[in-house]
Amino acid sequence: MLSVSRTSLAVVILALAVFSVVVLALVQTPVVPKPFMTLHGLGYEVDYYSVSAFNYPVIVFRGFMNGVPVFFTVSLFAIAPNHIYTVGYYSGYGSVVVNLTGSLVRYIASR
C-alpha cells in the first residue's frame, strides 16, 4: 500500500479547494467586449463590436439618456447602387436587436 501522510493529503485537498474557488470566481466575472470603433455625435454614441452573443448576424442598438434607458425607434435602410430599401422600423426600451438574416436583407446582400 502507498503510505501517504495526512499532512500531504490535507495540502492536496486544500489546494484543490482553493483552485475550484478561483475557477468559480473567474467563471462568474462578466466579459465586457471593447468596441473597435466609436462614433460620437450630438446626443448619440455608436459603438462597433466584432463579437456577438448570438450565433447569427445582428445589429444591437442601445438608447440611453443621462445613463437611463429610454424608448426609441430605429429606422434601418439598406443602400444599393440603384435603390434605397427600407429594411424596417424597430422600437425598444433601452435596446433594439435587429436580425440581419431576413429575406430582404439577404436579397439586397446578394445583389
pLDDT in tens, 94-108: 888 888 787 777 777
Residue 82 inside a domain? The answer is yes
Its pTM stands at 0.52
Residue 12 inside a domain? The answer is no
Domain of 72 in residue numbering reads as: 37-110
Report residue 1's pLDDT band, with 50, 70 and 90 as the boundaries.
very low
DSSP the chain: -----HHHHHHHHHHHHHHHHHHHHHHHS---PPPSEEEEETTEEEEE-S--SSSS-EEEEE-EETTEE-EEEEEEEEE-SS-EEEEEEEEEESEEEEES-SHHHHHHHH-
Q: pLDDT digits over 51-104, tens only?
A: 666 677 777 888 888 878 889 888 888 887 888 888 888 888 988 888 878 777
Between 7 and 50, residue with greater pLDDT? 7
Residue 57 inside a domain? The answer is yes
Could you give the number of structural domains in the chain? 1
Residue 25 inside a domain? The answer is no
